[in-house]
Amino acid sequence: MSNSEISDGKIHILYLVKHAPGVSYQMLMDKCLESLYLDFFTFSKCYTELIAGNLLDKEVGDTGTGEVVGSNETLKITRGGEAILEDIESTLNLQTLGYLKKAASELTEEVRIKNSVKAFSAPSGESDGSHIVTLSTTENGLDFSCSFKASAEQSEKIVASWRNNSAAGVQAFVDKLLNSGTE
């Protein structure tokens, strides 16, 4: 991995994080490995140096999207990163810039889709071992959220199912409410 590859990789990462707000580490890595022709080790080196150099910030936590098991890193560019990118962006050739714009647009759509459905489960703190399940979606123009108590085993199944079936679940719930007086 040459210095040029590292520099190009850092510019690409800064550009994508700036133009795809809310992008996660996992989404960024997937996009870079898939289409920016960076291998994993070059990507990792670039990413680590950008974080260490205070050009990128990361927020670690469970995003509720099910993208990864456990916590995930949501990224944002710092003021220092923006300043460097601003200086360099005008020097990018049109083909590279066009590609980065397309990749950023695709990532922005991925972020929107991933963040439209969320599901969390956390211990309730009660002696029965129950969990509080929180579900939300903004899919298909629906803005729905709820929280309820379930067993630990049920909560895992509910969270997994919600991420795959939230729109249908909300629609069935609404339909049931609308038809409850007519049955």
Supply the range of the domain harboring residue 121.
117-179
Beta strands (DSSP E) in the chain are 56-61, 72-77, 117-123, 131-137, 144-150
Q: Does residue 87 sit in the same domain as residue 159?
A: no
Co-location of 101 and 160 in the same domain: no
Residues 29 and 68 in one domain: yes
Whether residues 50 and 108 fall in one domain = yes
Note the pLDDT of residue 181. Answer: 64
**66 torsion bin: left (phi>0), alpha (psi -120 to 50), beta (else):** left
Q: Letter for the amino acid at 6?
A: I
Q: Do 137 and 55 share a domain, yes or no?
A: no
Any alpha helices (H) in 36-151, and if so which ranges?
40-52, 79-89, 94-115
Identify the pLDDT of residue 65: 57
Per-residue pLDDT of the chain (183 residues; tens, 9 = 90+): 688 889 999 999 999 999 999 898 888 999 999 876 788 999 999 999 999 999 999 988 766 655 554 457 889 999 999 999 999 999 999 998 999 999 999 999 988 878 788 888 889 988 998 999 988 888 777 788 889 999 988 988 888 888 778 877 888 888 888 887 665
Point out the domain boundary residue: 97, 114, 131.
114
* Of 64, 85, 114, the domain-final residue: 114
Alpha-carbon separation of residue 152 from 107, 165, 178 (angstroms): 34, 20, 31
Token readout for 37 is 């022709």
Residue where one domain finishes, among candidates 114, 142, 158: 114
Question: Amino acid letter at 53?
Answer: G
